[in-house]
Every structure is written in C-alpha cells, then in structure tokens.
Structure 1
Amino acid sequence: MNRTKALLAEAGLIVLAALDAVFNRPTEYWDIGVVVLAVGALLFHRRWPVLVFVLTLPALVLVGSVLATLFALFAVSVRYSHRVLLTACGLVAAVGYFFPGLEFAYSRTDMVLTVIYATMTAAAPIFFGRLVHAQRELALRLADIRAAREHERVLDAQAILAAERNQLAREMHDVVSHQVSLIAVQAGAMGVSTRDPDMKAAADNVRKLSVDTLDELRHMVNLLRASGSHTTGLTPQPTLSDLDRLVAGSGIETTMTGAAPEGIDTAVQRTIYRTIQEALTNVRKHAPGSTATVDISHDDTDLTVTVTNTPPTRPTLALPSAHHGLVGIRERAALLGGTVKATPTTDGGFRLELRLPRTSSRR
C-alpha cells in the first residue's frame, strides 16, 4: 500500500513537471526537444538519478522549466549522501535557474534577491531529500533494534532456563542418585547374604531395578545439562550439514570457503555451527549492509573457522546486548581445548576466529 502511494506521488510530480514545461510555452524545436527529454528522463529517476538530473538541465537553462530539475535533484539527494556531489548539483541547479534571466537588466537589489531565491530553490529539494533518506534509515534501524531486543530476550530466557535446569540436574544427581545407589548396594548385599531363593530373587530384582533407575537418571541429568534453549533437550542438535540453511536464512550476503575434515565429532560440529551462527547474528546487528565470508580450514594440528565481515554500509546504532553470545562460544571452545579471538580488521570490519585442536575432533 505504501509503495502504491509512493508511485502515485511520483507520477503526480512528473505530471506537474510536464505542466510546468508546457506553461513556459516552448516554441522552437530544440526547446520542445529538451522539454520532452527532461520529462521523459524523470521516469528513470530511481535507477540513474544523477544522469536524470543532468538531462533536465537543458530544459532549465533554455526554457526555464524548474520542476523537472528540482524533482531530479530531490532524487539525487535521496539516493546519495556525498556532500560534495550534493553541493555541486545544488550550485549547478541554482546557476541554471538564474541563467534564463541574464537577458534582463537587474538592479543590485534585484540581483541579490534573485541569487538568494535561486539558492533557496536549489537547496529545498536537497534538504527534503536528505530528510526522506534519514526517515528511511531510521525505519531500518528501528527494525534492527526490535530484532536485536527480541534476540536478547530469547538469549536471556535461554540463560535463565539453562541455569534452572543445571540446578535441577545437580539436585537430582546429589540427592536421588545417592539414595538409589544405596538401595542398589544394600539389595546386592542382601542377595549375597541370604540363602532363601525367593529372598535372593527379590533382592536381585531390586538391585536390577535400582541400576536401571540410575541409568535413566544419568540420561535425564545429561539431557538437562545439555539443554538450554526454548526447545527440549531431545531436539536434534545442529551439525555441519545445517550450515547452508543457516547461511541462507541469515539475511546476509555470505560466501563460504573451505571444508571441515571428514568424521569430526558431533560436539565439534555443534561448536562450529554455533560460532558461525553467533558471528552472523552480530554482523546483522552491528554491521548493517555488510557482507561476510566464512572460511573453514584445517591442518595436521588445528581446525580453524574464521568469519570476517566488511564495514557497514548503513549507519549503525548502539544496540542493547547482554554479551552472552561471545561468552557462550568461548565456553564451548574451551570445553574442546580451543580458543576464540574476536578483533576488528584494518578496513573497519570484524573478524571472529575459532581454533580447535584436531584431537578434539577425533574423540
């Protein structure tokens, strides 16, 4: 709906530019030609705004058709932020506006007023265009902030859930396993000391049930400690085969190079996946408009994953962060004997490097 309104508004401005050209009553063939060229060029103001601005200047100078040039100047200021370019275009438009009246004899006061009016006329579309550009950038930044806050909310919830589950796992391990182990030991002693076949069978059955209960308990404790997300610990964990889907859904132009060795441990695969996931999340939050490169390499001793992004192409804002992401991947790497380095690059980008020993990948 908003796009339809924008297209209708642009169509209305083009019609006004055409009417402005007609009201100037071009009579010569070249005057009519430059008017048609200026109005026709406005149809391509989104793709080539600077070229369209240049093509409207002959109509401004020869016929005095102002609106086409102002509309093109507005399109340039919406598209570009370069101050030198905008200043040059504004000066050219002001001179072009002033040029058709050079045949008249101006007094000093009239000359000053005309120069001021020409300057203000050229500056108005530039300032308005920069305002529209800032509004669009602000809308993008607000969307990024909302996404970042939602991401941080999920991370906080996951951290709280992980702490609760770890506490529950400790309680189950310290209390329940101790009692069940004691039952199993006493049942085993009873089975050895008694000569009654029925009592011996009952004791063996109690001991077997206690051992099975301990195995189930250990399994549940492992699930609780491994799970810290909003899903359950039974959900399949990501592996390197899921990287393509992760990159495709990241919303970032990403290039992947290299490959991991065959047969690496699933824990190593999860660590690589989570590291790349966190790195791409940080790129989306802190370097809007940049591109990323993911490189996976290995030698006889180390497996290295490097995620590098270019500088942001759009203005960035300070987004809220709980700093759980980098802490989490450093902890994952430390469990496997690896390290994580996060450093800015010389061109204004960022580089995240995960290095794991090859011994951890063959566990």
Structure 2
Amino acid sequence: MSARRIRRLAKATDGRLDTAVDAGLRWVRTHRAPWWLVDAFFVAAAVADAVLDISGATQFETAMSLVAAAALLLRRRLPVTAFALTLPGLFIGSAVVASAVALFTIGARTQRRWVMLLAAVVEFVGFSGFVGPPQTLDDIVVSIIYALIFALGPISIGLLVQTRASLTERLVERDAARADERRQAAAVALSRERALLAREMHDVVSHQVTLIAVQAGGMQMAGRDEAERGFARTIRQLCVVTLQELREMVQVLRASGGTDREIAPQPVLADLQRLIDDSGLDTRTDVVLPETLGQPVQRAVYRFVQEALTNVRKHAPDAAVHITGLVEDGDVDVRVSNGPARGARLELPGSGLGLIGLGERASLLGGSLESGPTDDGGFALHLRLPVEHLPPAPAA
C-alpha cells in the first residue's frame, strides 16, 4: 500500500470520526438526561468511592464518606452547604468524588468569586492530606499537581458551564430583542403607509367625491326633464354613500395598535359635550336634544358642531362661542355662533368643502344648512333637520 493511499485513508477516517463525534455531541445537546438521573449517577459514583476506594477504612471514615455522598442530593438548591458537608469525608474518609462534584456545582451555580476561591483552596488542602504526607521532593511535586488538578479542574468546568448558560441566555435575549425591533419597524412602516393612504383619501378622494356630489346637485336643480334630474339625484346619493364609506375607511387606516383594528363607533349626542370640552374654546352650551333621535340625525348634529368649532379655531381664535340646540316645530334646530376674533388670526387655508359636505348631509336628511357673518363681526351656522327619525313612543 502506497504512502499516498495511506494518507488518503487516514484523512477519510479522520473526517468520518469528526462527523461521528459532531453527531454524538448534537445528540447529547438535544437529548439531555433528566436532572434526577444525573444526580443519581453522581451519588452512586460517590458511594462507590466511599466503599471501594480505601481498603481498611474504619466504620467512622466510611460513614463520613457516605454522608458526603448523600450531601450531593442538596447540591442544586444549597451548593455551598453540600460542599461543606463533603469536607469531613474529604479530610477523614474517602470523599474525593463527592467533594469534586460539590466543587463543580459551586462553580456552576454560585456568583460569588470569593466563595469559589475559598472552596478551591479547601479542596486543595483536603486532597493533599488525602494522598498522604509526602516523603520526597518527587512526592511533594506529584501531590501538589494532583491537588491542583482536583481543586482547579471542577471549579473551572463549573465556571465554563455557568458562562455557557449566561451566553445562551444573552443570545436568546438578543434574538428576542432583534425580533421585537423588526416587528416594531414593520409596525411603524405599516402605520406610515396607512397614515399616508388615509391622508390621500381624505384630502383628494373625499374632496373630489364631494365636488361630484355638488355638481350632481346642480344638475338635479337645472335638469331639463325628470329623467335627467333622476340621474343627477342618483349620482348625488351614491356620492354621499361613498363619502360615508370613505370616512369609515379613513378611521380604520388611522387607527393604531396592531393589525386587529375595529371601526371606531360613530359619534352620538352623548359625545357632544366631550367634543366641546376638548375644543379649548370659550363656549356656552344650551343644547336640549333627546337622545332618541335617529342615528343619522345625531351624527349630523355632531359633525355640524365639530366643523363649526374647527372653523372658529382656524378663523376666529379665542372668540366666544354659543351653541344652542332644541326641537322646535317638529325640527331639530342647532345654531353655533361666535363673536369676533380676540387673538391673532391664523392664516390657514380653507376650501369650504367642510360646510359643503355638511350641507349635503343636511339635504339628504331633508334639512338645510345656513351660514353667514353676524352684525358684531362674528359668524353663525344654522342647521335644521326634521325629527322623522324619532322612534314611535311606547304604548301606555
């Protein structure tokens, strides 16, 4: 057999052995033995060391060694106590295995470095006494080497186990933090896209649909025959329905807090006072409206007041506002009036589409919307809606 063939065979054998060892290590990592089986193995080894290692040991020495073996049952919960209980057997009997296992447990489960150092020194002294007093220089050297091995070996392995567990925990925390960062980044990107889409729908689509509804209303009024006016009326009604659906979609898109979003409840008269309080304006309220009004009428009143307060904040800062609401002659009558601006006027653009949308809503409900300046330099809005949405009174 040639040398090249021998080297090739040795290389192949080396690769197979590495593969087999790696597979074995992976199996051990994924098939860890239960803790009670590991402890039973250590206790059995310590008992065997106590009974078989020293020939001619007295009963007291054997008893101390067996106590040291039994102390390993406490090593997981009380590692320092377990090590202390192994010391009599180490100095008197034969408890090398028990003390080494207890020292390993201190390295693996104790954070205090001075305790580890003290335990290693005690182990060194105890093992030096166990191997017997040295007689020659060679015996001294051998005794020191063996004592260092039994003192530093278990504590070093324990520290490695503790470090590995700490690194594993940190890696898990890092992976969890990175996954959380990725989720947060995705949520932020999604929120931005939804906010952009909601803004586009509100600023462009809803305005365009409102203008179509206004044009259709003009066609309805100026139609040459009933068929043409009917087409215009249908177009206007469809535009109003589309606007309502767009508003609901914008509310969904602007909602935050994950993907499980629900459409926000539509405002009613009960929410009116909170709207007024949140406006921050000097407002006097005299609204006496029954909460039995139909939902479309309640929403119309709420949106009317909301738009009026928004216009006051934009065009008449710090102006006094007076809101009235009552049922009069079978109609819901709501008025919002404000005095002249008492603060610096904000130069904010206004398209007037908000009032146009309110007018369309009022028209669909069979009502009307009026607006205009007042004699004292302020502005007033007047909404009138029929109360035909009131449910019938219960029978006596």
The normalised TM-score by structure 1 is 0.59
Pick one of 30, 35, 60 that aligns with 2:65.
Answer: 35
Question: 5+ unaligned residues in a row in structure 1: which ranges?
Answer: 238-263, 266-363
- Distance (whole Å) between structure 2 residues aligned to residue 151 and residue 189 of structure 1: 55
After superposition, where does 1:149-228 map in structure 2 within 5 Å? Answer: 149-194=178-223, 196-227=225-256
The normalised TM-score by structure 2 is 0.54
Deviation at residue 71 of structure 1 after TM alignment? 0.5
Pick one of 99, 102, 121 that aligns with 1:91.
Answer: 121
- Distance (whole Å) between structure 1 residues aligned to residue 233 and residue 225 of structure 2: 12
Greater RCO (Cα-Cα under 8 Å, separation 6 or more): 1
Pick one of 139, 154, 158 that aligns with 2:168.
Answer: 139
Pick one of 141, 151, 159 that aligns with 1:130.
Answer: 159
Deviation at residue 217 of structure 1 after TM alignment? 0.8
* Letter in structure 2 aligned against 1:51: T
1:233 aligned partner:
261
SS at match of 1:81: coil
Identity of aligned residues (%): 40
Pick one of 24, 27, 39 that aligns with 2:54.
Answer: 24
> Are the equivalent residues in 2 in contact too, given 1:26–1:63 (CA < 8 A)?
no
Deviation at residue 194 of structure 1 after TM alignment? 4.3
* Letter in structure 2 aligned against 1:54: A
Deviation at residue 24 of structure 1 after TM alignment? 1.2
Pick one of 76, 81, 100 that aligns with 1:46.
Answer: 76
Q: Deviations over 1:244-285 (max 9, x none)?
A: xxxxxxxxxxxxxxxxxxxx99xxxxxxxxxxxxxxxxxxxx
Alpha-carbon distance change, 157 to 235 in structure 1, aligned in 2, over 3 angstroms: farther
Q: Deviations over 1:158-180 (max 9, x none)?
A: 22222222222233223322221
Deviation at residue 11 of structure 1 after TM alignment? 2.5
Structure 1 residue 4 corresponds to structure 2 residue 33: yes
Deviation at residue 88 of structure 1 after TM alignment? 0.4
Alpha-carbon distance change, 88 to 62 in structure 1, aligned in 2, over 3 angstroms: same
- Distance (whole Å) between structure 1 residues aligned to residue 263 and residue 46 of structure 2: 62
Deviation at residue 232 of structure 1 after TM alignment? 4.6
- Distance (whole Å) between structure 1 residues aligned to residue 205 and residue 131 of structure 2: 97
> Are the equivalent residues in 2 in contact too, given 1:98–1:115 (CA < 8 A)?
yes
Deviation at residue 6 of structure 1 after TM alignment? 4.9
Alpha-carbon distance change, 26 to 86 in structure 1, aligned in 2, over 3 angstroms: farther
Alpha-carbon distance change, 51 to 19 in structure 1, aligned in 2, over 3 angstroms: same
Query: If you compute each CA radius of gyration, which structure gives the higher value, 1 or 2?
Result: 2
Structure 1 residue 73 corresponds to structure 2 residue 73: no
Alpha-carbon distance change, 26 to 68 in structure 1, aligned in 2, over 3 angstroms: farther
- Distance (whole Å) between structure 2 residues aligned to residue 52 and residue 134 of structure 1: 22
Question: 5+ unaligned residues in a row in structure 2: which ranges?
Answer: 1-29, 266-273, 276-396
CA RMSD of aligned residues (A): 2.8
SS at match of 1:4: coil
- Distance (whole Å) between structure 2 residues aligned to residue 166 and residue 78 of structure 1: 53
Aligned residues: 237
> Are the equivalent residues in 1 in contact too, given 2:131–2:143 (CA < 8 A)?
no
Structure 1 residue 118 corresponds to structure 2 residue 168: no
> Are the equivalent residues in 1 in contact too, given 2:39–2:72 (CA < 8 A)?
no
